[in-house]
Amino acid sequence: MKRKIRFFIALLSLFICVSTIQSTYAKYTSSASANTNITVARWNVLVNTQDIKNNSDFSTVLTPTFSGNTNISSNVIAPTSEGYFDIVLNANNTDVSFKSTVTISVDANSDVKDLQFTKYTIDGSTTENTFSGTDYSVQKSFLATDTSKTVTYRFFVKWLDGTGETMDNAADTATTTSGKAIIDVNVNVVQVAN
């Protein structure tokens, strides 16, 4: 019996010794984990103070101005009258480069067909730009690093009467009952990638 106890103590001592040696010569092991938070670039484009990401119809914030003259009241359109409307594109809270295109045209449902876009100005400049043929569009590119990403376009429109008109006096008169002068304005903003 003593022999069995000695054998058991020897076996237990051997196990303790092996465990101690194993932990002494073990390789170093460790683990770690993490995640990263990357900020997503902002895309916030306003047309006449309206965010076009949330509402693409900005008709309610487009205000045409017709100053009138001694023969035509202000803020109405009639043959020979001239006026303008502004498009303010504000992308100061946008973190990417982009290209903008503003295109204007006479709507197919407009009763007044003789609307003519005569010129436009940029950012209140006194320099008047003219359109190339019947392409009534203006383009501008912005870089992500630009300190200001705002531009104001003023488009001038005239009810053409005389040379080049498509409507005669009878058609002009017929629009006064319930006619509408409708201009389509399309603002397209596209991110420039590389």
Q: 126: which 2 tokens? A: 């006194």
- Whole-structure pTM over 0.75, yes or no? yes
In the chain, the domains with their CATH numbers are: 46-191 (2.60.40)
**Where residue 11 falls among pLDDT bands split at 50, 70, 90?**
low
State the DSSP H helix or E strand holding residue 2, giving kind and residue range, or none if neither: helix 2-24
Higher pLDDT, 20 or 66: 66
Decide: 112 and 83 in contact? Cβ < 8 Å: no
What number is the average pLDDT over the span 154-169? 80
The helix/strand/coil state of 119 is: strand
**Region of residue 49 (phi > 0: left; psi between -120 and 50: alpha; otherwise: beta):** left
Digit-coded pLDDT (tens) for 21-43: 555 555 666 777 788 888 888 88
Digit-coded pLDDT (tens) for 84-130: 999 999 999 999 999 999 999 988 888 888 888 999 999 989 899 98
What is d(CA 85, CA 80) in angstroms, rounded to the nearest whole number?
A: 17
Decide: 99 and 141 in contact? Cβ < 8 Å: yes
What is d(CA 12, CA 6) in angstroms, rounded to the nearest whole number?
A: 10
Residue 14 in this model has a pLDDT that exceeds 80: no
What number is the average pLDDT over the span 141-168? 87
Task: Share the mean pLDDT of the chain.
Answer: 83
Location of structure tokens 């770690």: 32
Instruction: Convert 137-169 to b/e letters by CB count within 10 Å (16 or more is b).
Output: ebeeebeeeeeebebebbbebbbbbeeebebee
What is d(CA 41, CA 24) in angstroms, rounded to the nearest whole number?
A: 52
